[in-house]
Structure 1
Amino acid sequence: MLRDVKKSKGRFIAIILIIMLGVLIFVGVKAAGPSLNDSLNKTVADKNLSDIQVLSTTGFDETDLKLARKVPGAQVEATKFKYVIGGKNKVATALYGYSKTARQNHLIMREGHLPKHKDEIVLDQRAKSKYGYKLGQNFTFDKDADLHRRTYKIVGFADSPQYIDNQSRGVTNISDGQVQLFAYVPEEQLNLAVGTMLNLHFQSLKDENTFGKKYKDSVDDKLILLKHEFKNRADQRTSEITRPYLKTLDSQQQAINQVKLLDPQAASQQQTKLNSAKSKLLKKSKTTYTWQTRQDLAGFAAYGESSDRIAAIANVFPVFFFLIAALITFTTITRMVEEARGEIGTFKALGYRKWEISRNYYYYAISAGLIGAILGAVIGNETLPRIVLALYKQYISLDWVVGLQWLTILIAIIFSLLATLGAAVIVIRKELVEGPAALMRPKAPKSAKKILMERIKPLWNHLSFNSKVSYRNLFRFKSRMLMTIIGIAGGTALILTGFGIQNSIGASGDRQYSEIFNYQAVVKLNDDANLSKVNKILQQNQQYRNSTTINSTTAKLKAHGQQVNDVNVYTPKSESVFNKYVKLSTDLNKKDVVLTKKTAQLLKVKTGDQINLTTTDNKKVTLTVGAIAQNFIGHFVYLSPTTYQKEFGQTAKTNTLLLHLKSQTKVQRKSLADKLLSSGEVMGTSYTHDVLSTVSKMSSSLKPIILIFVLLSGVLSFVVLYNLTNINISERIRELSTIKVLGFYNNEVTMYISRENIILTILGIVVGYGVGNLLTAYILNQAATEQVIFPLTISWFGYLIATLLMIIFTAIVMLVTHKKLQHIDMIGALKSNE
């Protein structure tokens, strides 16, 4: 066996390489998703990230904490928290009160230390990298932040387990709607009587996978219990806060009643003022809760979806890759055994038993298979997940956790042995059936048959002699032709799939905001907003072009036992104008209710079906789906004004503006948002640019993986082509020696083989285009999230790279083949075995 390995080092190494590449990408990519999750899970467990957070507009007192502690296993803490404007750039900042006794949401210090004195602040690490702040500098908040002091000394920079995405800090209703930083000052510096954020942590869930179904179901159950405890608490809390003020107003009411007889007009005016004061007080002090789990924290859902996408890719891409590797290995081992026919026949003639003859080939196959599989498993498991983690710069640096994926490794080893040992077993059993005399003679060459092209006389007659020989040989060796096409097509398809995944994820945002949405900003108005005042501000802005008014609300939809939350409900004031901002594939005026495609899929509804819609203020209506429109990001229901009036019993109130804007810089976007917010008429402004940036980040996060796929696919394709060409030469060594003896020049001999490779490469590339599209479509379907559909998109660049790589590999193999054919031992090859 050792002599065989030494004699055919190239083939032995080729088998090891092909198996190693297949196992490497199979195990490595399969390990990447779990490693991403495990690394984040370790970080959030070490830093005691809260499982549930509740925000209150009026804060939480001791009664609220007691209610929260009724949830079994809950560790409860109240934190002072608010969104404020701060820093030299006047950016929206999530400000937290730091307490030494806090046990949840510990910061990850990157530089400096935690606040020790009342004038110290710890800033987001992003403040250093993005805005250039340094230790020892001051950070000043706006007066509206309502702190005991406005300026603080920077003593540290940190990351937080609540903000794992380096490029996103969430949204707010101040400034341009985007939170840019988080910051921590001593809690007594926040001018708040009680905490405004309630954190709940469950020790029993600490070791669970944050993105696992078991964890999510458990948290959802805890949240239901928590909401039940707080069922009547909002009204009670509002009453507690407003009671002293209402008592004062009631005493003023009584005084008015006393002077009513003396001066009715003055009393009436005072009564109007008192009623207005009561209304404003109740509105300002109304308690509302915002409930959130880890999935609602900035970056968490995107991280989980990114991990899911890698898992979806891992269920298809590496399997396809590995199957190609196994198929080519099977062919190589088969050829190796067939070449040893004479040797097997000799052993058989000398009286050796079947096991004694075959075991060396089995050992050879097992050795190559195991070496390749073990190398691939170790390299894949230990390198690919770490490369992915290291290149995930979008997220904060995590504690790396890369565990051995034993089941995946075992599956890979089994398939590797099936491809190597399995091939040896099948072929040797077939060979050993023949008698020694038949085995010791060379196998009869395959007879050439008339091919289809020969029947097309005008085409066949115009081909040169060498071309005719090449086409006949292609169909003469059908298995080799098939293997070469599969190898080339597989490599092309894998490279295309790599580019396709990235292109398609990026295309979801591009197509949403070019084919469907044709606006650049959404302005959310206050309940009693003065629209003319808002329009005046907009018209003074140089980037403003025009706008349209709509009613926008959020609702949940139910149908056929399915439910979709956070659905945007848009009702335009004018359908004809609205069509310039949102391009529906149907006329809203005629269809009345239009549902977007992904929402319809989740609800399992089609045109004509009924859906139940419940708004955030608990209004319930039943609607009939008039049409289903294309959409790539989010869930939307579009209602005509007539339908809204009919179903809700009132005219749709204008509460949102969709804006057409010229190209804006980041400063211009922020400036417009600040002006609108400071007018007192606007709750906040959101830009489509920010959504596109998020989708772009989603696409960019996969670049490292795609690069790895493309490189490994390219290497596999090259090894496959090189290996099959070597098999081709060894199979036809007598034939090649014959034509050399007959006087063919070296270039002609090379082209005798290479012409077939060129034809098969072209066929393989064409087939690869089709397979690549099918494979990409399947993976995208598996990777789609509840919120996003990824349209199949492969750029011309992907096709170009895949095609060029295959052409380059073919050219390199031609060059190597040319050198090899120059040194053929013609006499040795043509010697008769007899």
Structure 2
Amino acid sequence: MKPMTKNMWREISHGKGRFIAIILIILLGVQIFVGIKAAGPTLNDSADKTVKDAKLSDVQAFSTTGFTHKDVQLAEKVAGAKAELVKFKDVVGGKDQAAVALYGYTKDARYNKLSLRSGHMPRNGHEIVLDELAKDNDGYKLGQTYTFSKSAKLKHRSYKIVGFADSPMYIDDSTRGSADVGDGTVRYLAYIPQREMNLKVAMMLNIGFHNLQSKGTFTDGYSDAVNAKVTALKKVFKPRAASRTKALLGNTVVTLDQQLAKITAAKKQLQQAGQQGGSAANLAGQQDVTLTKEAAQLKAAKTKALAAGKTTYTWQDRNDLPGFQAYGESSDRIAAIANVFPVFFFLIAALITFTTITRMVEEARSQIGTFKALGYSKWAIAKNYLAYALTAGLIGTVLGALIGNTTLPRIVLALYKTYIPLKWVVKFQWGDIGWALLFSMIATVGAAAYVVWRELTEGPADLMRPRSPKSAKRIMLERITPLWNRLSFNRKVSYRNLFRFKSRMFMTIIGIAGGTALILTGFGIQDSIGASGTRQYNDIIHYQATMRLRTAGQEDKADQILNNNDQYHSHTDVAANVGDLKTNGHQVNDVNIYAPDNVAQFKRYVTVRNANTGKSLSLPKNGVVLTEKTADLLHVKVGDHIKVTTTDNKQGTAKVTGITENYMGHFMYLSRAAYKQLLHETPTMNTLLVQFNHQTDKQRKSLAHKLINHGGVMGTSYTKDQQTTVSTMSGSLKPVVAIFILLSGILSFVVLYNLTNINVSERIRELSTIKVLGFYDNEVTMYIVRENIVLTIAGIIVGYGVGELLTGYIMKQAATAQVIFPLTIHLTGFIVATVLMAAFTAIVMFVTHKRLQKIDMVGALSSSE
């Protein structure tokens, strides 16, 4: 082995601690950088693999009058489309009469194939497969009998449970959507043979496109392509609605019109007879009353026939399925965090590594000088240290990339317990690994190259002598004479040393501040996500439920049920609508439009205040108030104008008179006068905002059930359910945050240990000198510890500020189209970050104390001449 190579291995052998520390720092930096950045793509790839293997349809269509094979043929006119009829309806069933989404099962279904968890699929007309949620939440078991209510109108009411399964249409186990039966919330899914559904036509049409299968479900490319397909489908189905309605009604309406015309003619004749007076007039009057009743009955029959026969279509894609948007936003949120947190983490690791390599080469001045004196070329000397740095950097990068890319995404997937079992797809993120390798090489090989080249510019004689120590200078503290004179000699020395070696001081502060900031950011991410729901439903929204009336303005039945409810407190009426807002090329869809019946009363249910100043906002007679996120997406400010289009195709232009604080969802508030001016119609109160005292989950379900069945209410939405969703979202991040905090803590400890080691190594002669002068071991240790305590305190304080800035930036990046995350870090985060950094400092100081007890004073003080 060549002498230079031997020297490198001896360097590694004698300085194992430093070599391992460099590897660990690089490993941790690469691990978190590659691992967390791989988490978002892994979540998307896994969900995409799961739904594609189950043949999830790209588009789902619903019709008020059902679909026939003609509709299948029509849908398949769109390029690449394959359509399939599905019998489906919401029914009530089970031991607690829950709302159930019931599907007709066919063995050869093209789309939305079930994933069986236990048991088997239905084999005959008396068997049923239930959603896995029915087993987990409601305790159903294989072999039990499941009974539907009479209103379900199935061929049989009772079925034997033979299996439990998952559907790719419902990937999130926390939601199954809404219904207009039961309590308004679908509890779980059920599947019976399609022939058991007792429906003449299918109510659902699944459509898939072969050319979309190569695109990722959560990519912009897929979203744009699906939108284009939906537009094409709407176009080909537009004339179909009229022809379907006409076919269903047949001659019914014509016959009714003819009968009404006959009655009208007969009434005219009776009026003429009545003008003659006498008994004929009395008889004509009696007959007229009879004809009037018949006419009213015929008109009601006509209205009913038109309502039952009118065909309207509802189109949705995968993003509209329960849980899909939340899942996509969750993976996007992790991806947003991954664009900031691990980068900052890795920069800290790289900076400390750069410092460590720099100090290592500077310590080897005498060796470099010796090799240079012996005639070795600059390249021969340099490659020795470059190889050392390259070895440490490569080992750290390879191990970090392997551990990070293979473990962290899997841990994140395992923590997504609220979703159906996904087929894990964990790919190596070669692009991120490449960036990690580049930064690692800059931090190791780059540092070594820079310092070695700088050292090699000096002559051998200069290199073989130790670098002259820096001369002491007066520090600012010395100018405060009363304070300086009261300090002990040891303290004066410590404070002078702090400012004497400024680079060391700044690096230690940066290392501790970085660790503190990273730990604080971990807590801040979790606290900020949780705060969005807390602020929305404590500070902004003060009602506990929204109730949509079946007939606008008719709330008597609902009032009667509410007044008999012990938990009911009060309610206010609003005209609620949903619309799309546009301006200057920007658009926000599905905005909730609220026009309160009583503005003063409305303020007790919704806080409308300026997003910046916190001052209360009024709802003027002309203009609208937008929520903060809505205005941000539209790029509008107070005084700008927006175009409003409601779901029932009413349009108008309004001036933005205010922007109100809001954290979840999109809302537009306006007065009754402004509503009429905007949409050219008088607002009708169709929704109740209701306040309740404390309700249990059972009480909420019971009330919603009564309101739908007897209270003239289409559906009830509780804010508690939305709060639970936010809590689940926040809770799912807790383990991820724990990983952040754990790795940040490990990095902080390694960094602190490494910097202290460098400090001791650089000052070994100084420490040996004071030990020879008679300082006790504890005093020698405190000589170093005192400086570290000051630097730790300074680093922690700086870390507080950096942590707040970093958390704020991450939360801004993580915000979705629907949700704002307010910067929130609870006191717990500050306490834990402080305690951890103090504990790390104490542990490092204990290890340093043991090392200082074994200093070879003679060897350290021997002359290098």
Fold match, TM over 0.5? yes
Q: Which of 315, 339, 342 is the equivalent residue of 1:291?
A: 315
Segment drifting more, 545-554 vs 344-353: 344-353
2:138 is the alignment partner of 1:107:
no
2:207 is the alignment partner of 1:200:
yes
SS at match of 2:62: strand
Alpha-carbon distance in 1 for matches of 2:418, 2:480? 59
1:573 offset after TM fit, Å? Answer: 0.6
1:347-369 CA-partner distances (Å, limit 9, x unpaired): 11111111111211111000000
Instruction: Give unpaired runs (5+ residues) of structure 2.
Output: 1-7, 271-286, 610-615
1:127 offset after TM fit, Å? Answer: 0.9
Q: Which of 536, 540, 562 is the equivalent residue of 2:586?
A: 562
2:39 counterpart letter in structure 1: A
Q: Which of 433, 449, 453 is the equivalent residue of 1:429?
A: 453
Aligned residues: CA RMSD? 1.4
Alpha-carbon distance in 1 for matches of 2:142, 2:435? 52
Alpha-carbon distance in 2 for matches of 1:811, 1:90? 62
> How many residue pairs align between the two structures?
834
Alpha-carbon distance in 2 for matches of 1:24, 1:303? 25
1:293 offset after TM fit, Å? Answer: 0.4
Q: Which of 728, 750, 761 is the equivalent residue of 1:697?
A: 728
Alpha-carbon distance in 2 for matches of 1:288, 1:40? 32
Segment drifting more, 108-117 vs 743-752: 743-752
Alpha-carbon distance in 2 for matches of 1:144, 1:680? 18
Contact preservation (8 Å) 1:588, 1:640: no
Alpha-carbon distance in 1 for matches of 2:751, 2:789? 14
Contact preservation (8 Å) 2:184, 2:708: no
2:76 is the alignment partner of 1:88:
no
Task: Report the counterpart of residue 79 of structure 1 in structure 2.
Answer: 86
Contact preservation (8 Å) 1:92, 1:175: yes
Segment drifting more, 355-364 vs 168-177: 168-177
Task: Report the counterpart of residue 164 of structure 1 in structure 2.
Answer: 171
Superposition map of 1:315-714 within 5 A = 315-527=339-551, 530-585=554-609, 586-590=616-620, 592-679=623-710, 681-714=712-745
1:548-603 CA-partner distances (Å, limit 9, x unpaired): 01100001001111111000000001111000000101332447421111111111
Alpha-carbon distance in 1 for matches of 2:733, 2:103? 33
Q: Which of 247, 254, 258 is the equivalent residue of 1:240?
A: 247
Contact preservation (8 Å) 1:176, 1:686: no
Contact preservation (8 Å) 2:90, 2:102: yes
Contact preservation (8 Å) 2:558, 2:711: no
SS at match of 1:347: helix
Quickly say closer, same or farther: Cα 1:653–1:714, change in 2 above 3 A.
Answer: same
Q: Which of 60, 65, 72 is the equivalent residue of 1:65?
A: 72
Alpha-carbon distance in 1 for matches of 2:769, 2:185? 76
1:227 offset after TM fit, Å? Answer: 0.6
Contact preservation (8 Å) 2:581, 2:589: yes
1:739-776 CA-partner distances (Å, limit 9, x unpaired): 11111111111111111111111111111111111111
Quickly say closer, same or farther: Cα 1:757–1:68, change in 2 above 3 A.
Answer: same
SS at match of 2:56: coil
1:451-474 CA-partner distances (Å, limit 9, x unpaired): 111112233223222222111111
Task: Report the counterpart of residue 733 of structure 1 in structure 2.
Answer: 764
Superposition map of 1:131-170 within 5 A = 131-170=138-177
1:63 offset after TM fit, Å? Answer: 2.2
Alpha-carbon distance in 2 for matches of 1:738, 1:173? 86
- Percent identical among aligned pairs is 62
Alpha-carbon distance in 2 for matches of 1:278, 1:767? 76
Task: Report the counterpart of residue 277 of structure 2 in structure 1.
Answer: none
1:248 offset after TM fit, Å? Answer: 4.9
Q: Which of 822, 831, 835 is the equivalent residue of 1:804?
A: 835
Contact preservation (8 Å) 1:45, 1:207: no
2:215 counterpart letter in structure 1: E
Contact preservation (8 Å) 1:528, 1:681: no
Alpha-carbon distance in 2 for matches of 1:469, 1:140? 85
2:301 is the alignment partner of 1:277:
yes
Task: Report the counterpart of residue 27 of structure 1 in structure 2.
Answer: 34
1:529 offset after TM fit, Å? Answer: 5.7
SS at match of 1:791: coil
SS at match of 1:702: helix
Alpha-carbon distance in 1 for matches of 2:308, 2:835? 66
Alpha-carbon distance in 1 for matches of 2:72, 2:711? 34
1:249 offset after TM fit, Å? Answer: 3.0
Contact preservation (8 Å) 1:175, 1:684: no
Alpha-carbon distance in 2 for matches of 1:70, 1:236? 17
SS at match of 2:142: coil
1:244 offset after TM fit, Å? Answer: 4.6
Alpha-carbon distance in 2 for matches of 1:117, 1:815? 74
1:527 offset after TM fit, Å? Answer: 2.0
TM-score relative to the length of structure 1: 0.98
1:53-97 CA-partner distances (Å, limit 9, x unpaired): 011121111222221111100010010011111111221111100
Segment drifting more, 172-181 vs 188-197: 172-181
1:605 counterpart letter in structure 2: V
2:522 counterpart letter in structure 1: G
Alpha-carbon distance in 1 for matches of 2:627, 2:388? 58
Alpha-carbon distance in 2 for matches of 1:254, 1:651? 33
Q: Which of 1, 9, 15 is the equivalent residue of 1:2?
A: 9
1:365 counterpart letter in structure 2: A
SS at match of 1:518: coil
2:143 is the alignment partner of 1:119:
no
SS at match of 1:626: strand
Task: Report the counterpart of residue 178 of structure 1 in structure 2.
Answer: 185
Contact preservation (8 Å) 2:617, 2:660: no
Segment drifting more, 228-237 vs 414-423: 228-237
Alpha-carbon distance in 2 for matches of 1:121, 1:241? 32
1:698 offset after TM fit, Å? Answer: 1.3
SS at match of 1:389: helix
Segment drifting more, 727-736 vs 773-782: 773-782
2:136 is the alignment partner of 1:129:
yes
Task: Report the counterpart of residue 776 of structure 1 in structure 2.
Answer: 807
Alpha-carbon distance in 1 for matches of 2:298, 2:482? 101
2:312 is the alignment partner of 1:312:
no
1:216-274 CA-partner distances (Å, limit 9, x unpaired): 11101000000111113223322222225435534644664675446322111100111
1:280 counterpart letter in structure 2: K
Alpha-carbon distance in 1 for matches of 2:488, 2:601? 67
1:173 counterpart letter in structure 2: D
Contact preservation (8 Å) 1:546, 1:661: yes
Contact preservation (8 Å) 1:529, 1:681: no
1:531-560 CA-partner distances (Å, limit 9, x unpaired): 222111101000000110110000100111
Alpha-carbon distance in 1 for matches of 2:262, 2:175? 54
Alpha-carbon distance in 2 for matches of 1:91, 1:756? 67
Task: Report the counterpart of residue 14 of structure 1 in structure 2.
Answer: 21
Instruction: Give unpaired runs (5+ residues) of structure 1.
Output: none
1:189 offset after TM fit, Å? Answer: 1.1
Alpha-carbon distance in 1 for matches of 2:853, 2:244? 92
Contact preservation (8 Å) 2:63, 2:204: yes
1:696-746 CA-partner distances (Å, limit 9, x unpaired): 111122122111111000000000000000000000001111111111111
1:309 counterpart letter in structure 2: R
Task: Report the counterpart of residue 284 of structure 2 in structure 1.
Answer: none
